[in-house]
Structure formats: structure tokens, C-alpha cells
Amino acid sequence: MARNSSKYQCYATLCANLLSLCYGAFVGWPSAAFLLFQSEDSPFESGPLTTNEISWIGSILCIGGIFGNIFFGWLSDKLGRKLSMLLAVLPLLISWILIIVAKNAAYLILSRFLGGFAGGAIFILVPLYVTEISEDRIRGSLGSCLVLFCNMGMLLAFISGNYMAYNTSPYLYIGLIVVFLILFVFLPESPIYLMKSQKEMEAEESLRYYRNLRKISQPPECFKTEMEKLKCEYIEEKKASDDTALSWSDFNNPVARQVIMIGIALMALNQFCGCFAMINYTATIFEISGSSLSPNMSAIIVGVIQLLGSYVSTLLVERAGRKLLVMVSAFGTGFGHISLGMFCYLKALGCDVESFKWVPIASFSLVIFAASWGVLTLPFMMLTEITPLKIRNITVALCMASLWIFAFILVKYFPIVSAVLDLHGCLFIFAGCCFSGALFVLLFVPETKGKSLESIIAFFEARTK
């Protein structure tokens, strides 16, 4: 393959993840805005938002995500990855517009639902698209860009929220959405989807584009081999699927059961690693450390740590491998929870912890940084890598729906649990989830670094014999 064969794969990944950046900004936008909405200076006619309204505005995002997963998981097989991603722009665009014109909590609840709907689309379509256009040797690095760009968007939202009005910053993200539309509309559909649709000539043109071979009349042997592989794998599978429509047995065989179990477990680890809780307790953690930083500045520091962690993931994922990174990430996150939990517990007992006031920020930074290079970044890419083609869309949609359900449970019920167990009790539970997740990955999850999608499925088939 040409030395710069990855040029257009990287460009397409960058374009696709402009959507991820805009969604990350949407998730991070309330950080500064909610402080204003709950204050006496609330811009709404109805006055400050109540705790119940804030709770629903936060949690309705997850419900929208479930519906977005289901709908776009189905749509991506009917219309393709590219057109589905272009359509996902609509709910995201409307959600930002609703923020600009919001007059009460109802506007924000609808906005968050539509934003979650778009997020459900993004977290299923972007990994699928990037996985299907990428060469095996760089698939991991490109796949990890999803969370990197989400974290970049969150950091941008934290900064813009600190320096811009709550209804002015959305114009910035609407502009980025327009840039995405202009750039992405000219990119070809993924070659795998085209081959599945029996559009062989278009699939070859697409593959030539993504392998930077459009101007070469006689492509190298490795390109011909890849094309033949696509024909054999996907046209034959398409014919087989025409003869045998998708049925319950496709999901109830040993390979499918393993994949679904691993997928749901990775999504659970992603949510119950406790990073959501840590981010919500940012101001408290900085306060017990003796810091006088404002909540907005604390959020910006969190955003920087997340961004650095996810960037480390893109650097290491093709060197250390997915499995090792997730395991080390889970252990590091769990250790950070334990150390912070012990500090909070000793303080609650009335022990003198004055000389250890550096522990909260050090532990907090470890949790966010370690989680961002593995458990928060890699599960989405690993899910698309391990899933058989025939059931990929539905399985990915199912696992992503479980992610949104886990997220809803955390958003809605974490404050209740923390009130009963205190912060240290919750931290110990999160540490247990992290250590359990690391052990699960060690025992059940295969390494996918540098392996073709076909060889990964072959591994599962061999393991079930």
C-alpha cells in the first residue's frame, strides 16, 4: 500500500468526529449554564429552575440516547453510514437552537432529549463508519478519536461557558455543524456497506479513495487482495443473509452470546467506573483540598485532564493494545477511587488529614486521567471490532442502549445513593466496579490490535468449539 495510504482515512475520521466534538460541547454546556439557571439571576420568566427540573434536564439526555441508538442502528442498515450521519445533524442542530430561544425548563428538556437522540446516533454511527474505512494497522488510533473529540468539545464548552453568555455560545457549535455538513457530504460511503449492498464498482471507488489510490491506474497487489477479501466476505454474506433472514438463532449462538455479554460489560465499566460522579463532585473535591477556584475553572481543569488522557489513548492504542490499556486504565481508576475514598472516610471520622490535603486533587486527577485513556475511550471501538457483520448493527445498538440505561441510572439515582452512603461509600463501590471490570477484561475480552475484523470473529468461533 502507498506510504501515505492513511491520508484520507485520517481526513474522513476528522470530518466525522466534528459531530462528536459538537455533541461533547452539548454535554458540557450545562456546567456553567445550570449555575445561572438555579440562581436568582435566572433569565427565565418562571424564575430559577427547581432541583426536580434540573434532574430531568440532566437525565432526559440518556432517554433520548436510547431512542437514537435504536432508530439510527436500524437506519444505518437501510440508508448507509454516511446518509444516516448527515441526518443525525438535524436533531443536534434543533437542540442548539432550542437553547438559544429557551424561555423555560420545557425548552431545555426538549433540547436535551433531541441532543441525546443525536448522541445515540453519533455513538453508534461514528465508530461503525471509522471501523469500516480504516486499515487494520491504524483502526485503533482512528477509533479512539471519538472520545478524544467529545472531550475536546466538553473542554470547549467549559471555556466558552466561562467567557460567553449561555445563549451565545451555541452559535459557535451551530457553525461547526455547518462545517461538518460541507465537508462530510463530499466523502464516499464506507466500502464495506457498499459491498454489502452489492455495489461492487462503488465499493472499489470508495476503497481507492480511502487508500489514497484514486490516481493510480494499476493499484498494488495488497489493494487487490483487500478488494477480493471484501467480495468474498461481504457479497457472499449478503447472499447468505438473503437466503436466511436475521433470526433469533443469530443472536442465540455461542459467538453472539459472548459478543453481547462482552459488549454490555464494557458499557457497564464505561459508566460505573465512577467518572461521572467525580465530575459532579469537582467543586467539592477542590474545596476540601483548600482550593479557591470557581466551579467553572474547576470544570476547565477537568476538561484538560480528560483531553490529555484521551490523547494518550490515541498514542498508545496501536502500541500497547486495547486489552492492556483498558485493564491498566481500570486498575488506575480504581486505585484513585480507593485513595480518595480513604481520605474522605478518615475526614468523616474526625481524623487530622491537614497534612494530606493534596490527596483529593491527586486522586481526582488520577481517576479522570486513567479512565480517559482506556475505560472511557476504547469500549466503543472494541464493540464494533468484535461484533459479527450480520448482527453488528443490532448488537451495537443493543449494547449502546444499555450504556444509556446505565447512564440514566447514575444521573437519576446517584444523588440518593451518595446521601445514604456518603461520598466515600460511593467511591469504594466504584473502585469495586473498576477492579471487577479489569478482571473481566483479562479473562474474557480478546486483544484486537492489528487484527482483521474477520480474524477477530474467527477467534470467538474457535473459543466456542
Q: Which helix (H) or strand (E) holds 73?
A: helix 51-79
C-alpha cell at 149: 473529540
CB atoms within 10 A of CB 351: 11
| Contacting residues for 176 by C-beta, under 8 A, at least 6 apart | 18, 21, 22
What is the phi/psi pair of residue 375, to 5°? -65, -25
> Where do the domains of the chain lie, and which CATH numbers do they carry?
1-245 (1.20.1250.20), 249-465 (1.20.1250.20)
- Determine the Cα–Cα distance for residues 157 and 281; give it in Å rounded to an integer: 18
* pLDDT by 10s per residue, the chain, length 465: 545 778 999 999 999 999 999 999 998 888 778 778 888 888 887 888 887 888 788 889 989 999 998 899 889 989 999 999 999 999 999 999 999 999 889 999 999 999 999 999 999 999 999 999 998 888 888 988 998 999 899 899 989 988 888 889 999 999 999 999 999 999 999 999 998 888 889 999 999 999 988 878 788 888 888 888 888 776 655 555 555 567 788 888 888 999 999 999 999 999 999 887 777 667 667 777 666 777 778 888 888 998 998 888 888 888 888 899 999 999 999 999 999 999 989 988 988 888 888 888 888 889 999 998 899 989 988 898 888 877 887 888 889 889 989 988 887 788 788 888 888 999 999 999 999 999 999 999 998 887 877 788 888 888 876
* Grid cell in block for residue 463: 473459543
Structure pTM? 0.83
Residue in 273, 382, 378 with CA at minimum distance from that of residue 336: 273
* pLDDT for 236: 58
What element of type H or E holds 257? helix 254-272
Minimal CA–CA distance to 391: which of 252, 208, 224? 252
pLDDT value of position 214: 84
The pLDDT of residue 202 = 93
Confidence at residue 230, expressed as pLDDT on a 0 to 100 scale: 81
Whose grid coordinates read 466551579? 295
pLDDT given at position 324:
93
Which residue, among 389, 343, 407, 439, has the nearest Cα to 123 in the 3D structure? Answer: 407
CA distance 296 to 303: 11
Measured CA distances, 406 to 264, 402, 413 (Å): 10, 6, 11
pLDDT for position 107: 93
Q: Which residues contact 396 (CB under 8 A, 6 or more apart)?
A: 73, 124, 127, 128, 263, 383, 384, 387
- Contact at 8 Å (CB) between 152 and 24? yes
